[in-house]
Structure 1
Amino acid sequence: MIKSMTGFGDASDQIDGMKYFIEIKTVNNRYLKTSVKVSEVAAFMTDEIDKLLRSCINRGTVNFSLKIQSASDQGLFDIDENTIQAYIKKLTTIAEQNNIDTRIDITSLLTIPGVIQPALPDEQQAEKVRESVITMTQQALEKLDLMRTQEGKTLADDLIANCDAIAQKLDIICQKSPLVVQEYHDKLKKKVDDLLAAARLELDSETLAREVAIFAEKCDIAEEITRLNSHLAQFKAFCKENTNSGRKLDFVTQEMLREANTIASKASNELICQSVIDIKCSIDRIKEQVQNIE
């Protein structure tokens, strides 16, 4: 069954006094585009997370975020005390040499680049964090997949309903199409007979037959109807596949529209023209929905 490209999944866990929150959001995109945002504590996992996302998702924009909060008094950062001591010593020396009466603001020192560093885990902690984050990511991906699958089913039902509507209009066109030539023959004959009646002339039956044959060839839409019916069958089959059918469905939709336009250009009957308009409206709805299919 087809899947939607729009979805959301999340997961959370607590590791050594730290709370980890993962969110995965996906939206439409013609190609696959991933964005992985993690704190510096888990920055070493960025590539691994990206590979995991790409192995599970084939198309769409994927936004992954990992947030960390402290669940205890343990901080998420370290202060480089040696660097602060060096700044204080240097500033004190400069003040004494220049007879400057100054007070050093410790808060200002904390804003100096390099003074505050993220509390990076050691090798053992890093491995524990990696295993937990990967597990949480898989859990979030499962939720995401469930949501995309459920929405995909809704999309499939709507797409098939539109295909059925197109098929109904094609049936009307099929029934009306053979009568168009006969109607043209009768109208043409009546019009010519009326014009020739005053001149007391008769129309050659072969000439009338030739004109009708030319008209019949120009307005023949049997091939277009057959191809459009074939495209409808292909479209429905792709909707039931378990593979990623978004691009296939997009291509078939374009072909459906092309056949509908050809029928419209050949149509010379009001009922057929109205049916083609209804068909193109259904195809437009299909095109809009297909853009959200993986």
Structure 2
Amino acid sequence: MTGFATRTGSAGLFSWAWDIRSVNGRGLDLRLRVPDWIDGLEAGLRKKLAGVAVRGNVTCTLRVTREEEGGALEVNETQLDLLLAALHRIEARAMDAGVSLAPSKATDIVTMRGVLEQSASQDDTSALCAAILADADAVLSDFAAMRAQEGSTLSRVLESRLAEVERLTVEAAALAEARKDDMARALRENMARVLDNADGLDEGRLAQELALLAVKADVTEEIDRLGAHVSTARALLAEGGPVGRKLDFLTQEFNREANTLCAKAQNTDLTRVGLDLKAVIDQIREQVQNVE
């Protein structure tokens, strides 16, 4: 089921921006793009996302930034030692060469790159992680609300398609009833034709074969099952919750009955209705892919 939500938040020196979206998928595929330097954040978000979505490809992007602050200045001892050693070697070589150098001043040394730096020690991220996870509830609520709105729209679309299946099923039942006399007359004519052209043929055996053909052409069971499937689909839609997988399976059953109906039709009008049923059922199948 499709869905989309964005939100911004902040805590202390940190600010962040959420972007959560989902598209159709057979199962649940969570893809998180979050800062890996915040311990426990990804695991916490996965748990929360799994609580609001059970189907679809869900992408959650979180961008975290930190404001610049005036931290304490610190001397990089390692860099200073390397620099002093280099200055000592330079002064010694200069003296050996008879070159006079001006005395070095501390103010000159601290301006050299890497000697004096602003403290930027890594903070404990547990508090930041907790703040972000708490803020996630709001954006996930927006995300779930949009998916619920999408689901409501899909429910109405599916109900309209189910009503069309129901209408076509009623029409198929009427056509199947109307063709009974025609089928019976055709069977009698075929039986008489065979008997007229076959000497010594067992009439009882022939009658049994023709009766078997009549049974195989009967579509009563297919029509009954189509009606039952419509009732089941409506019950699932009314049930709410994640019913996408069940509806997906049910559309396969719908399609199976429609295929059998077409195969048994032996009637132009009934075949037309069967093909119309297949078209509507295919529309249902496409929409069901969007249902969680």
TM-score in terms of structure 1 length = 0.76
SS state at 1:240 partner? helix
What secondary structure sits across from 1:21 in the alignment? Answer: strand
Paired residues of 1:78 and 1:119 also in contact (CA < 8 A)? no
Structure with the bigger RCO (C-alpha within 8 Å, sep 6+) is 1
Is structure 2 residue 123 aligned with structure 1 residue 121?
yes
Contact 1:22 1:140 in 2 (8 A): yes
Report what 1:271 is aligned to. Answer: 269
Gaps of 5+ in 2: 91-112
Distance 1:170 1:89, change over 3 A: same
Query: Which of 4, 7, 21 is residue 8 of structure 1 equivalent to?
Result: 4
Deviations 1:143-167 (CA, angstroms, capped at 9, x unpaired): 0111000010111111111111111
Mean CA deviation greater in 239-248 or 269-278: 239-248
Letter paired with 2:124: D
Identity in percent: 29
Q: Give me the whole-angstrom Cα distance separating, in 1, the residues matched to 2:136 and 2:51.
A: 12
Q: 1:82 to 1:163 in 2, by over 3 A?
A: same
Which whole-Å CA distance do the structure 1 matches of 2:73 and 2:281 have between them?
62
Query: Helix, strand or coil for the counterpart of 2:4?
Result: strand
Letter in 1 for 2:123: P
Structure-2 separation of matches of 1:165 and 1:287: 14
Q: Give the aligned residue type for 1:149.
A: A
Structure 1, unaligned runs of 5 or more: 97-108
Q: Which residue number in structure 2 is paired with residue 185 of structure 1?
A: 184
2:258 partner amino acid: A
- Partner Cα separation in structure 1 for residue 85 and residue 3 of structure 2: 55
Check whether the contact 1:181–1:215 (CA below 8 A) recurs between aligned residues. no
What does 1:63-102 correspond to in 2, within 5 Å? Answer: 63-70=59-66, 72-74=67-69, 82=76, 85=79, 89=83
Figure out how many residues of one structure are paired with residues of the other and give that number: 268
Q: Distance in 2 between matches of 1:280 and 1:79?
A: 75
Change (3 A) 1:177 1:151: same
Q: C-alpha separation between the residues in 2 aligned to 1:178 and 1:258?
A: 21
Aligned-partner SS, 2:239: coil
Question: What residue number does 1:132 align with?
Answer: 131
Question: Per-residue deviation at 1:134?
Answer: 1.6
- Between structure 1 and structure 2, the one with the greater Rg is 2
CA distance in 2, matches of 1:25, 1:91: 57
RMSD: 3.8
Kept in 2, the 8 Å contact 1:159–1:286? The answer is: yes
Q: 1:238 aligns with which of 226, 236, 252?
A: 236
1:289 and 1:78 mapped to 2: Cα distance?
60
